[in-house]
């Protein structure tokens, strides 16, 4: 099951396509099932609905489940909807419980109830157990398909139990140990279990320093913990330390992608990223509220400029540099914002301290401001042959970059302190706020030094 390049995938699909056209079921299954599930999924996504219906008849629900687990999340709802309900229920039942729950959380509640009614009772009960947990928490992304061993078992008994349960488990790299009341008390790696003597008790070879997360823990915090500790899996417990499930590294990779997409959409001033099937009205619903807010913030900026109408009347050339001043403020503020949001997400700010981060950004703003200020002063002086105008624009740029850099870094830090998602301090908001600050600095200084500007 080697990874296939696009051209190799196309060649293999041609063979698979020929088998479909000629109704050679055995040939199709031999070619298709030899591929890695990722390549199966990429080929599957490219097909028409009519062709996919043929594939549904050639593969079992278990085999389709392997494909669906690797399909892009944007297509899954469409594929589930086009299947026969009974077949779809069987596919969901064959999937890892946490993956099935992720899909069902995106579906209409009536459809979810219908699928749970149709599917096997044991699978339905496992899915129901996870469905009631709040989204984006440990409970919603954990799986209940894992191997548990007891402290009173011997290594030999544990190995026998592992051989029996491993085919249904999502991972066996770590084995979690519970006491008689099903409380998590330890962990043992598969390697340590294999090299231990058969008659040793599990309580003698396990490590009791086991890291776990509460079932209500936020998925973003869990992702950071797994990254920091290089865990392949992490146990999930309730308030009494009963073992409820485990979170595996593949689930966390999905979480990191989801959180990155979510933060990116907020930085862009969008409530949620547009999906490939969203029509214009859905896209408008996601984007328009932010644009309306920014529109009125822009009107506020315009009203500030209006207050300096007399200054502009006397020195009209000042208007030429408004886009420059505002643009530089927005650019440097967005840079500082990106650094701060990333620092919060990675935990860098907690490690280094807020004062150190703000001090670094202030120094950065100062150096950038002085450099740009000197350059623009010389440029305007040569261009307009007016030293005082060049000096005004240069000092304004310098002050604006310093203030805008500090503001760009401080806003997300303050929001994070008050438990508000720092990504909400989006690029458009920082840009608009810094527009206001830059205009006040620019025209405030122009008004103060008006006598030097009028010739």
Q: Are strands 233-237 and 148-150 parallel, antiparallel or unpaired?
A: unpaired
Judge whether residue 135 has pLDDT over 90. no
Q: Are strands 174-178 and 148-150 parallel, antiparallel or unpaired?
A: parallel
Using an 8 Å Cβ cutoff, are 243 and 145 in contact? no
CATH class assigned to 148-263: alpha beta
Q: What is the pLDDT of residues 177-215, one digit of tens each?
A: 999 888 999 999 999 999 999 999 999 999 999 999 999
List strands edge to edge, sheet with 148-150: 148-150, 174-178, 184-189
Q: 3-state SS of the chain: helix, strand, coil percent to 5?
A: 70, 10, 20
Q: What is the pLDDT of residues 291-302, one digit of tens each?
A: 677 677 778 777
- CA dist 181 and 242 (Å) reads 8
Q: Reduced to 3 states, what is the DSSP secondary structure of residue 447? A: helix
Using an 8 Å Cβ cutoff, are 181 and 240 in contact? no
- Where are the alpha helices (H) located in 234-353, listed in sequence order? 249-267, 280-307, 309-314, 322-346, 348-352
pLDDT confidence bin for 35, thresholds 50/70/90? confident
Taking alpha carbons only, the member of 405, 412, 398, 400 closest to residue 333 is 405
* pLDDT at residue 398, as a whole number: 94
Domain ranges of the chain: 6-141, 148-263, 280-453
Compare 428 and 371 and report the one with higher pLDDT: 371
The CATH number of the structural domain formed by 6-141 is: 1.25.60.10
Mean pLDDT of the chain: 84
Domains 6-141 and 148-263 equal at CATH topology level: no
Q: What is the pLDDT of residues 333-370, one digit of tens each?
A: 888 887 887 777 666 777 677 888 888 889 999 999 99
53, HSE (Cβ side, Cα atoms, 13 Å) = 8
Across the range 248-270, mean pLDDT stands at 67
pTM tops 0.85 = no
Which range is least confidently modeled, 73-82, 232-241, 311-320, 415-424? 415-424
- CA dist 242 and 178 (Å) reads 8
Measured on CA atoms in the order 89, 93, 95, 99, is the torsion positive or negative? positive
The architecture CATH gives domain 280-453: Orthogonal Bundle (1.10)
Q: Write a three-state SS string for 42-108.
A: HHHHCCCHHHHHHHHHHCCHHHHHHHHCCCCHHHHHHHHHHCCHHHHHHHHHHCCHHHHHHHHCCCC
CB burial of residue 44 (10 Å; 0-12, 13-18, 19+):
buried
* pLDDT at residue 268, as a whole number: 52
């Amino acid at each position: 099951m080697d990874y296939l390049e696009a051209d190799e995938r196309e060649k293999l699909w041609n063979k698979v396509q020929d088998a479909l056209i000629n109704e050679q079921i055995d040939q199709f299954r031999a070619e298709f099932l030899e591929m890695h599930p990722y390549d199966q999924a990429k080929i599957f996504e490219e097909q028409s609905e009519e062709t996919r219906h043929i594939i549904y008849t050639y593969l079992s629900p278990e085999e389709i489940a392997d494909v669906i687990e690797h399909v892009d999340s944007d297509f899954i709802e469409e594929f589930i909807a086009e299947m026969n309900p009974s077949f779809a229920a069987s596919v969901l039942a064959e999937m890892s419980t946490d993956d099935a729950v992720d899909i069902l959380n995106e579906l209409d509640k009536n459809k979810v109830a219908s699928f749970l009614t149709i599917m096997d009772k044991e699978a339905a009960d496992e899915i129901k157990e996870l469905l009631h947990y709040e989204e984006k928490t440990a409970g919603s992304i954990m799986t209940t398909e894992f191997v548990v061993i007891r402290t009173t078992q011997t290594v030999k008994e544990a190995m026998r139990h592992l051989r029996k349960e491993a085919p249904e488990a999502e991972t066996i790299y770590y084995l979690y140990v519970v006491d008689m009341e099903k409380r998590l008390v330890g962990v043992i790696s598969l390697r340590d279990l294999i090299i231990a003597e058969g008659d040793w008790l599990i309580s003698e070879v396990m490590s009791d320093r086991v890291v776990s997360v509460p079932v209500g823990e936020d998925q973003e915090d869990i992702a950071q913990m797994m990254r920091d500790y290089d865990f392949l899996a992490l146990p999930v417990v309730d308030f009494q330390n009963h073992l409820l499930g485990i979170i595996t590294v593949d689930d966390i990779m999905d979480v990191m992608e989801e959180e990155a997409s979510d933060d990116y959409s907020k930085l862009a001033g969008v409530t949620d990223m547009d999906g490939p099937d969203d029509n214009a009205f859905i896209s408008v619903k996601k984007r328009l509220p932010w644009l309306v807010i920014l529109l009125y913030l822009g009107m506020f900026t315009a009203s500030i400029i209006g207050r300096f109408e007399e200054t502009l009347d006397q020195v009209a050339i000042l208007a030429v540099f408004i886009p420059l001043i505002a643009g530089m403020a927005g650019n440097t503020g967005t840079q500082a914002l990106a650094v701060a949001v990333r620092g919060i997400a990675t935990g860098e700010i907690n490690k280094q301290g807020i004062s150190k981060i703000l001090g670094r950004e202030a120094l950065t703003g100062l150096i950038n401001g002085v450099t740009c200020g000197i350059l623009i002063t010389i440029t305007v002086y040569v261009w307009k042959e007016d030293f005082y105008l060049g000096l005004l624009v240069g000092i304004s740029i310098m002050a604006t970059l310093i203030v805008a850099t500090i503001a760009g870094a401080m806003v997300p830090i303050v929001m994070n302190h008050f438990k508000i998602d720092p990504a909400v301090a989006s690029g458009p908001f920082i840009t608009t706020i810094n527009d206001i600050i830059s205009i006040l600095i620019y025209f405030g200084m122009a008004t103060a030094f008006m006598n030097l500007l009028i010739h």
